[in-house]
Structure 1
């Protein structure tokens, strides 16, 4: 797939929701396909896509491939499930109207030019069909085909549900993606990693003995999902990440009042679950299965079920006619796009402010699920820039707390090509002088190595030793590190099938 520039969309090709995103991809060969072959949402759907297009940290064999729409889901007549929409960097760039290698800068500009969401009145697509939980026949387990990714999952999960909640004191809203396990006919458990803003809202409400009204929005314009994955300090407490999607699209995200709770829904979502996070109520994540496991997470492991999670009491489900349930395979390439591209933008913007023009690009590597490993490409211009390279790495660790390892390479290294990065490590790196250790720093609780059981010097889960690998050449030896200068020849006449014109 090529990485040629995608010109800004025309009005007829503009992406305003999930369906218009799918329509654009359908015009581009190899990026999306559908199947009518019946699929079981329990383990089979994820197992199929693991082989076809999951990529990322999924256990091999896997590959990057097209997004897939499963048109026939066993036990759910009329339901459709989409997986892998953002499981390819080229595909994300095409939907965001930029080059794949420019995504960090493109996203960074959207943060600087954020446009807040607006509330609309009247009919909204997400409320064409309304199911109230008070109805006798309501059962979330039969209404929506939430996939179970593996046989040992705690239960079915909504993996791309964008939770929207508001600060009960200040009134500002926040959106984040969390793992949501279906626990009963009208109950979900929600896992909050430490530091999440909606969890802070929940704690405020709970301290007063009150429920926190929320909506779970699924099937969205990809700009909304990827914009929602920015974190502090890029989007500090009180910053509404929906404004990033506004900056990406050049128009505000539209919201509408929910039907059954005092909250807002994303107006053009495919499916919205309305509910309340109950105060002082907790459930064991695997209470229905007793597997001891949760679900596959971004590092590639199926972690332990949480013994005590908050509960969302569902009040209603609203949806579009012919709604599409969107999901992802937890450790796959789609997580790298969602988490990693905002990580890149945050690091790039911070480095540009501190060291203008020095950091050329950033890649949140898929091996770290878009969170744990960052590759920085720098442009050395003098002997003093060797110190700048390491300063940039420290900035990266400071601006995104979940980054664990940073690799620095020169601008003649393709930071998106792992072989090229490892080549730089073999020829421009000496472990005893080019490695910097920062022990005892906050990391991510889902990395199983970040625990006292792994390393007794770690005081608590989610604390880690962060490492900088300086794989840049010494400035004084620059001439010894010049790569072989091949002639730049257009190969198209010699192999037109391998290099099709854009």
Structure 2
């Protein structure tokens, strides 16, 4: 894989864009005015969203909209991480080595550091809630993905807050809907660490100070999406981004609340999660829908979600608002690559050298499906492939299906995986079902209405598909071997 010039290091969103511009196929711009209300996402659905988005769609370049209806001072970027190759180019590693690369960053984490800069990049312009005419809806071009969304959403906002008891920090991406001139609702999937911080503060009758950083170094966005057990409660995922870049992520003090923000962010929203205050997520539209989520369906609007009371919005000069489509490949990469690293870490500790690689592909949403490539080195390794699958389920609770393949099958080529399933799998002996296990609430099939075997919403039957050859039969399953040749002699410039 070709890489960009080493003279263009990636340190923030703007340098990431500059990196992509060194490639012919990774970035495009348009000066045509676009409406952030459904039209912007409608355009990108065709240009490059891919993932579980409604067809027709395709995997394409990141796209910058330079003219946003109603917001002349902003540009909007979408699809920055919408291809695995693009992520690899931004992190300077081969696409198939991303999982191992992220695992190394976890093992060599670098804690973030607070800087005392008189005017950090993210605070070049500051809007305060008490300013006359302050209104989030007019200030920031938060898009709606579809005409039936509950409202405008920030989909690439990195929420950062501290445990009110211990001071430990956590950063995650959440569903953030603009509800009014200074209010944003925040949906938490049960168990998220920031929600634990919010609950602690609420039980003490206190607000939780929080910042939302938008438009940062993509290494931070990827690192943010790690989950337990790799990152237990109290583990600051920004330290993984530090490990990826080999230097600490720089933070600054918020201008209006007792919290910290990412210093080079394009936009920061500062506020407080208000105790004992909830709103209906679709209170302004009544659609019953929230926004498109990663499984490819629009999530239901929640009847009562916590609220951030916004205190200030600092941003850069000529800011870029970054967004994504929830069901695009951008989510697959954000969720799936850290999952690959987590599974590799767990299996390597228990079964050293056995699992060669892991892929969480787009059709599996980055969360629900993993392909594990294993190497059986002796008869004693027979059966360990299924143990590896069980470890994967333990490492990532939202995982639903695991496919096991041999070392001669490319886990990143789903055609090759299905070939292995066709020729190395018998359903009656190679399907292992584990019913009644908690999984993920956004999968609509995980509901008693879908199957009477499911006791409650979010419970699933987890399944292992063992598409590996039994060790004692490996000599009967050798792929046809071709001559190694220098293809470039015949097709100049050819690359595999």
Assess same fold via TM > 0.5. yes
* Pair 13,401 (structure 1): closer, same or farther in 2 beyond 3 Å: same
1:479 aligns with 2:478: no
Which residue of the partner structure matches residue 369 of structure 2?
Answer: 373
User: Partners of 1:46 and 1:492 in 2: how far apart?
Assistant: 41
Worse-matched range after superposition: 381-390 or 161-170: 381-390
Which residue of the partner structure matches residue 46 of structure 1?
Answer: 41
Equivalence map 1:53-64=2 (5 Å) = 53-64=48-59
Of residues 117, 121, 126 in structure 1, which corresponds to 2:116? 121
Which residue of the partner structure matches residue 387 of structure 2?
Answer: 391
User: Partners of 2:290 and 2:83 in 1: how far apart?
Assistant: 26
Q: TM-score when scaled to structure 2?
A: 0.98
User: Partners of 2:45 and 2:488 in 1: how far apart?
Assistant: 33
- 1:74-120 Cα offsets, whole Å, 9 max, x none, are 11112100000001111101111111010000000000000000000
User: Partners of 2:184 and 2:386 in 1: how far apart?
Assistant: 44
Of residues 298, 312, 315 in structure 2, which corresponds to 1:316? 312
Shift, 1:13, TM fit: 1.7
Of residues 226, 238, 247 in structure 2, which corresponds to 1:242? 238
Unmatched 5+ stretches in structure 2? none
- 1:304-362 Cα offsets, whole Å, 9 max, x none, are 11111000100000000011000001101111110000000000011111111110000
Equivalence map 1:100-139=2 (5 Å) = 100-122=95-117, 123-139=119-135
User: Partners of 1:488 and 1:407 in 2: how far apart?
Assistant: 29
Shift, 1:365, TM fit: 1.4
SS in structure 1 at match of 2:382:
helix
Shift, 1:500, TM fit: 5.9
Shift, 1:381, TM fit: 1.2
Unmatched 5+ stretches in structure 1? none
User: Partners of 2:350 and 2:262 in 1: how far apart?
Assistant: 36
Which residue of the partner structure matches residue 158 of structure 2?
Answer: 162
Equivalent pairs, count: 495
Which residue of the partner structure matches residue 193 of structure 1?
Answer: 189
Which residue of the partner structure matches residue 495 of structure 1?
Answer: 491
User: Partners of 1:390 and 1:500 in 2: how far apart?
Assistant: 35
Which residue of the partner structure matches residue 37 of structure 1?
Answer: 32
Equivalence map 1:270-281=2 (5 Å) = 270-281=266-277
Which residue of the partner structure matches residue 344 of structure 2?
Answer: 348
* Pair 432,500 (structure 1): closer, same or farther in 2 beyond 3 Å: closer
1:423 aligns with 2:419: yes
Shift, 1:461, TM fit: 1.5
1:256 aligns with 2:252: yes
Which residue of the partner structure matches residue 438 of structure 2?
Answer: 442
User: Partners of 2:479 and 2:358 in 1: how far apart?
Assistant: 22
User: Partners of 1:103 and 1:459 in 2: how far apart?
Assistant: 37
Which residue of the partner structure matches residue 285 of structure 2?
Answer: 289
Of residues 250, 265, 268 in structure 1, which corresponds to 2:264? 268
Shift, 1:36, TM fit: 0.5
User: Partners of 1:348 and 1:137 in 2: how far apart?
Assistant: 51
User: Partners of 2:27 and 2:353 in 1: how far apart?
Assistant: 37
User: Partners of 1:157 and 1:118 in 2: how far apart?
Assistant: 29
Which residue of the partner structure matches residue 449 of structure 2?
Answer: 453
Shift, 1:456, TM fit: 2.2
- 1:57-83 Cα offsets, whole Å, 9 max, x none, are 111111110000000111111210000
Which residue of the partner structure matches residue 405 of structure 1?
Answer: 401
Worse-matched range after superposition: 242-251 or 36-45: 36-45
Which residue of the partner structure matches residue 93 of structure 1?
Answer: 88
User: Partners of 1:347 and 1:111 in 2: how far apart?
Assistant: 13
Shift, 1:382, TM fit: 1.4
User: Partners of 1:130 and 1:254 in 2: how far apart?
Assistant: 19
SS in structure 1 at match of 2:268:
strand
